[in-house]
Amino acid sequence: MRFAVNYSVPMAKLLQEGALSCDLLKCPEWEGIVAAARPLRPVHVHFEIVVGNGGFEHLDFRLIREMLASTETPHLNCHLLSRPELDPSNRADRKALLEDWVAGMTYLKSQVPGCPLVAENLPYIPGFYGGEAGASPEIIAQALQEADAGLLFDLSHARICCHYLGLDIKEYTASLPMDKLAELHITGLRFYSGYLSDHFELRGEDWEAVEWARAQIRAGVWREPEVAAFEYGGVGEVFGWRTQEWVLREQVPRLAELFS
């Protein structure tokens, strides 16, 4: 298992100073960011590919294949999204979502042959993001089985789903195919603009969830992933403003000890 941290300007500075260490720098598929990260650490690219919201005409598969070949990214990733109008209690809707996900993942595999595919669980926030059907661990498990794909498990996304659906995270996760775990994402949660959101620093309950996840891996209940990534910090409007150097100084070493 290799430990990754999101690329950010503060993280780059701390690496250059020798103040922090990690195995990989996790980058979006932005050529400028990948180029900035390369001299500092091996690069792990995380693609913004979504399955379940339409076609893939906007994707540049030449660039995707090039980035996979030129970095230390072990698999192609995608995100599993459900349309809000799909009812998880309706058999036809569940079937439609499953078929959509499997078809999308099968197409992605055909465009990048020979590269393992992993699919990430997304958060569900009623009336704001995603659809409840997409939070179903049973549909996720069946889709990964039929598409022969691995699981990119985002612990914070699962916790957000459980918060809004009134579920227990341990019971929820027990229904996911953790034997297919290929990558683990870790962040802190906080209420922001009225919604429970991720990509913040870790606090008390966040650390408890992370340490529980690590214990599951150590015990062999979950497969050991190839990559465990701290998705704190980043670049651009979404992530740049919440990237604090003190968080990286305090939390990266503790996580590196847990997951390296």
In the chain, where the domains are located = 2-259
Distance (Å) of CA 21 to CA 28, 30, 40, 54, 248: 20, 23, 10, 39, 10
Burial class (CB in 10 A: 0-12, 13-18, 19+), 106: middle
Render pLDDT for 165-192 as a digit per residue (tens, 0 to 9).
999 999 999 999 999 999 999 999 999 9
Q: Does domain 2-259 have CATH number 3.20.20.150?
A: yes
Helix (H) or strand (E) holding 145: helix 137-147
Helix (H) or strand (E) holding 61: helix 61-70
Give the total residue count for the chain.
260
The helix/strand/coil state of 2 is strand
Asked whether residue 238 carries a pLDDT value surpassing 80, the answer given is no
**CA 165 from centre of chain:** 20
What pLDDT is stored for residue 239 in this prediction? Answer: 73
Average confidence (pLDDT) over 52-70:
94
pTM summary value: 0.96
What pLDDT is stored for residue 240 in this prediction? Answer: 66
The helix/strand/coil state of 25 is strand
Burial class (CB in 10 A: 0-12, 13-18, 19+), 143: buried
Spell out a b/e string for 8-17, using b for 16 or more CB atoms within 10 Å of the CB, else e: bebbbebbee
Six token digits for residue 202: 């870790």
Asked whether residue 237 carries a pLDDT value surpassing 80, the answer given is no
Question: What angle do the packed helices 245-259 and 204-218 form, to 10 degrees?
Answer: 20
Average confidence (pLDDT) over 16-26:
98
Q: Report the candidate in 191, 84, 86 with the shortest Cα–Cα distance to residue 129.
A: 84
Instruction: Determine the Cα–Cα distance for residues 45 and 66; give it in Å rounded to an integer.
Output: 11
